[in-house]
Amino acid sequence: MIELKTPAEIEQMRPAGAFVAEVLTELAARVAVGVNLLKLDQIAHDMIRARGAESCYIDYHPSFGASPFGKVLCTSVNDAVLHGLPFDYALREGDVVSLDFAASVDGWVSDSALTVIVGTPRSPEDTRLIEVTTEALAAGIAAAQPGGRLGDISAAIGAVASAAGYGINTDFGGHGVGRTMHGDPHVPNNGRAGRGLPLRPGLVIAIEPWFLESTDKIYTDKDGWTLRSADGSTGAHMEHTVAITESGPLVLTARS
């Protein structure tokens, strides 16, 4: 079911968006050689507690998950790209790390992700992957206009990826966001402009392109959660929670 939020409800969603942005800004600043993924999760946990927020991940147990997630942050490093379960790993020079964080504040959820390189990039390909994924997110947001169609967003993301030569996996993509983290509609990272759900003011969605350097195939790590590239190539993931308003897209998780 598609839920449309009133302008007042979208205003109520702003604190959750601001908090998620604040946490990701802090975590990105803390990423460095030697920092443990469990430490990043602990920082996020402490910020949730201090804010009186609720984690969307810790008890998350969908049909595809082996058990409840148990952490508050997804940390996907190098060939991992989505749903990375934090484990005892100290970041190394050149690692490509995606941080995905969702939390509820005042009963409203926001969901956002970013990808950064630890220290000096290992290759120009890693830098380019992150740039293209960032560009795809911006294109998807720009296409989230009232009067448009969901396919406009998907097509805009897909066009950026295709132009850069990346494959696109549409099994996992964006989603409706509201009182809970995952709602309708599914927002695939490729599609046809002018098709699909009409974009009406009040629709709030997570837009989240993710690409792999040389494949569109993934597999689930033996931890039961982490999704890794089939060929070992690097992945990147960028996500914002976006409200469609009368005047255009409003990025609730914008970082200053």
Q: In this chain, which stretch among 84-92, 95-103, 129-137, 159-167 interacts with Mg ion, using CB under 5 A?
A: 95-103
Strand partners, 108: 105
CB of 60 to Mg ion, least distance (A): 11
Residue 126 within binding range of Mg ion, rule CB under 5 A: no
Which of 41, 95, 111, 152 binds Mg ion (CB under 5 A)? It is 111
Which of 100, 126, 152, 213 binds Mg ion (CB under 5 A)? It is 100
Q: In this chain, which stretch among 33-41, 79-87, 216-224, 235-243 interacts with Mg ion, using CB under 5 A?
A: 235-243
Tell me whether residue 239 is annotated as binding: yes
Comparing CB distances to Mg ion, the nearer of 114 and 201 is 114
CB of 112 to Mg ion, least distance (A): 6
Residue 60 within binding range of Mg ion, rule CB under 5 A: no
Write the DSSP symbol of residue 87.
-
Task: Evaluate the CA torsion angle 91, 171, 162, 256 in order and state its sign.
Answer: negative
Tell me whether residue 175 is annotated as binding: yes
C-alpha of 248 from chain center: 21
Contact residues for 29 (Cβ-Cβ < 8 A; gap 6+): none
Nearest-angstrom CA–CA distance, 149 and 198 = 4
Q: In this chain, which stretch among 20-28, 112-120, 157-165, 168-176 interacts with Mg ion, using CB under 5 A?
A: 112-120
Comparing CB distances to Mg ion, the nearer of 86 and 201 is 86
Residue 115 CA: distances (Å) to CA of 65, 101, 133, 196, 215: 23, 12, 9, 29, 18
Residue 23 within binding range of Mg ion, rule CB under 5 A: no
How many CB atoms lie under 10 A from the CB of residue 32?
Answer: 11
Cβ neighbourhood burial of 128 (10 Å; 0-12, 13-18, 19+): middle
Residue 133 within binding range of Mg ion, rule CB under 5 A: no
Closest alpha carbon to 182 in 87, 63, 85, 99? 63
Enumerate residues 176-205 that contact Mg ion by CB under 5 A: none
CB 244 within 8 A of CB 145: yes
Tell me whether residue 83 is annotated as binding: yes
CB of 120 to Mg ion, least distance (A): 27
Tell me whether residue 237 is annotated as binding: no
Q: Collapsing DSSP states into helix, strand and coil, what is residue 252?
A: coil
Tell me whether residue 171 is annotated as binding: no
The residues that touch Mg ion, with contacts defined as CB under 5 A, are: 100, 111, 113, 239
